[in-house]
């Protein structure tokens, strides 16, 4: 028996990845446009990924009365103080394309006054390495809301460490993937990985692995309830 699972995102790339990551579970993954005549816009004004994911999961679960999974994720670059962070999808401007956000990130890196430069007092040569200055990570928060279990919420998080490139590489993935060299991938960017490789190393794959026990338990409970109803 398959259960409907609404994924609260309008990001086609996220939807593709989540469908692949959930392929072995008894769920029919749906997008908001599949079930809602006018999918509601949720203002993502939280200061953490978890807060934004929670807002989206609650809003879409209430609107659809379906089991709902929401993702909020982004890139944190150390030398930029954690930016783009929760504004990763809107870094260049509110309706920015992936290419515009990547360009804005590279411009910010060019403009920043590097506090780790050896020109500054107290800096050490080992901190002058580009790999140290451009340390970054992708973070993902997943929130699952079940409207038929008193709005019960499950939360999981995942991260992927790496470094930022000055020049994009690769044609896969989406967002900042062509600029992000992920640890454990032999120097390749996220955009140079196969889908299976990316899902094994990515922040989203790790967050979903942490969410899986909660989702499996909810699906099992739903199956038992339906079996009792039709027994």
Q: Catalytic residues, which ones?
A: 72
Q: What is the DSSP string of 137-191?
A: EEEEEEEEEETTTTTEEEEEEEEEEEEE-SS---SSS-TTGGGEEETTSTT-BGG
Contact 69, 5 (CB under 8 A): yes
Quick check: bond before 84 cis, omega within 30?
yes
Give the whole-angstrom CA distance, residue 150 versus residue 50: 20
Contact 105, 176 (CB under 8 A): yes
> Distance between the two ends of the chain, CA-based, in angstroms?
15
Helix (H, G, I), strand (E, B) or coil at 59: helix
């Amino acid at each position: 028996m398959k259960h409907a699972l609404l994924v609260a995102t309008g990001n086609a790339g996220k939807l593709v990845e989540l469908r692949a990551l959930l392929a072995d579970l008894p769920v029919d993954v749906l997008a908001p446009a599949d079930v809602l005549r006018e999918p509601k816009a949720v203002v993502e004004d939280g200061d953490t990924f978890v807060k934004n994911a929670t807002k989206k999961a609650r809003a879409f679960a209430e609107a659809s009365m379906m089991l709902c999974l929401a993702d909020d994720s982004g890139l944190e670059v150390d030398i930029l103080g954690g930016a783009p962070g929760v504004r990763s999808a809107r870094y260049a401007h509110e309706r920015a394309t992936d290419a515009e956000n990547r360009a804005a990130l590279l411009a910010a890196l060019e403009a920043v006054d590097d506090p780790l430069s050896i020109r500054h007092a107290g800096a050490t040569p080992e901190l002058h390495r580009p790999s140290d200055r451009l340390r970054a990570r992708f973070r993902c928060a997943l929130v699952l809301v079940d409207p038929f279990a008193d709005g019960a919420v499950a939360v999981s998080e995942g991260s992927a460490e790496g470094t930022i490139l000055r020049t994009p590489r690769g044609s896969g993935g989406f967002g900042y993937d062509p600029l992000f060299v992920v640890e454990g991938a032999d120097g390749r960017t996220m955009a140079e990985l196969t889908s299976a490789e990316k899902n094994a190393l990515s922040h989203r794959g790790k967050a979903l692995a942490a969410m899986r026990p909660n989702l499996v338990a909810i699906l099992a409970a739903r199956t038992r309830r339906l079996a009792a109803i039709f027994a």
